[in-house]
Amino acid sequence: MDKVAFTQMKDGTKEEYEFLNALEIDHTKHTADRLMKALVELDESLSGYQITRLGHSLQSATRAWRDGADTDWVVAALLHDIGDIYAPYNHDEYAATILKPFVREQCKWVVETHGDFQMVYYGQHLDGYDQNKRERHRGHPYFEDNEVFCERWDQASFDPEYDTLPLSFFAPMVREVFDRPAYDPEVIRPGERVPLTDAAIAAERADA
């Protein structure tokens, strides 16, 4: 079978849906490669900063890695702005939706709401923006994690002089994350908090 015969889903047969499901399973195995291609395409996105959007993503991930962050945090930092091209008004939610089945709930929530937290740095300069928008999340278990994420990795990562690691360095981590079983409870771990930084691991990575 090369293609199904039906033109309406309600007319599909068991054989056809098993055929499609097998194709979908194979398709998901290449998600990491598609995401890395999309990261490169970020350079077609918003300009005006001293580095490109891909450069910002790589620098955020590099800072996370050098801070001793675990793989979930590093990949979350790498992909946090991947929605800039296709979802400029809710890029944070877009990125979080991609990450949701494969990373810790903590990381997903931080990515999903980081746009609100970032406004503390620039909202006062633009009419109609709420500098304190993050306050709507005050009291959430991951509130302080988002403050750290934005302060150390996001808002700080626009420096053309920073020694940023290449996409090839992070590719194995992206593949590791997206090769996981979707929505695995051992990965999602609702309510669990993992520190963003680890001084001992950061010391080991200091020369990279």
* Predicted pLDDT at 206: 86
Asked, for residue 8, whether it belongs to a domain, the answer is: no
Asked, for residue 7, whether it belongs to a domain, the answer is: no
Position 43 confidence tier, pLDDT thresholds 50, 70, 90: confident
Write out the chain in H/E/C secondary structure. CCCCCCCCHHHCCHHHHHHHHHHHHHHHCCHHHHHHHHHHHHHHCCCCCCCCHHHHHHHHHHHHHHCCCCHHHHHHHHHCCCCCCCCCCCHHHHHHHHHCCCCCHHHHHHHHHHHHHHHHHHHHHCCCCCCCHHHHHCCCCCHHHHHHHHHHHHCCCCCCCCCCCCHHHHHHHHHHHHCCCCCCHHHHCCCCCCCCCCHHHHHHCCCC
Asked, for residue 5, whether it belongs to a domain, the answer is: no
Give the residue-averaged pLDDT of 23-52.
90
Give the residue-averaged pLDDT of 31-37.
95
Residue 9: burial class (beta carbons within 10 Å; 0-12, 13-18, 19+): exposed
* Predicted pLDDT at 5: 95
Q: What's the whole-number average pLDDT of the chain?
A: 95
Q: Is the pLDDT of residue 207 over 80?
A: no
Domain count, the chain: 1
Give me 199's structure tokens. Answer: 């001084």
77 SS3 class: helix
Q: Is the pLDDT of residue 157 over 90?
A: yes
Asked, for residue 199, whether it belongs to a domain, the answer is: yes
Position 106 confidence tier, pLDDT thresholds 50, 70, 90: very high
* Predicted pLDDT at 208: 62
Kindly report, residue by residue over 51-68, the tens digit of the pLDDT.
Answer: 999 999 999 999 999 999
Are 71 and 32 in contact by the 8 Å Cβ rule? The answer is no
Supply the CATH number for residue 125's domain.
1.10.3210.10
Asked, for residue 36, whether it belongs to a domain, the answer is: yes
Q: What domain range is 112 assigned to?
A: 13-204
Q: Considering the chain, what percentage of its residues have pLDDT values greater than 90?
A: 91
Cα(155)–Cα(158) distance, rounded to whole angstroms?
7
Asked, for residue 110, whether it belongs to a domain, the answer is: yes
Position 47 confidence tier, pLDDT thresholds 50, 70, 90: confident
pTM of the full structure: 0.94
Asked, for residue 4, whether it belongs to a domain, the answer is: no
Asked, for residue 2, whether it belongs to a domain, the answer is: no
Q: Is the pLDDT of residue 45 over 90?
A: no
Residues with Cβ within 8 Å of 202's Cβ and at least 6 positions away in sequence, in order, are: 66, 67, 68
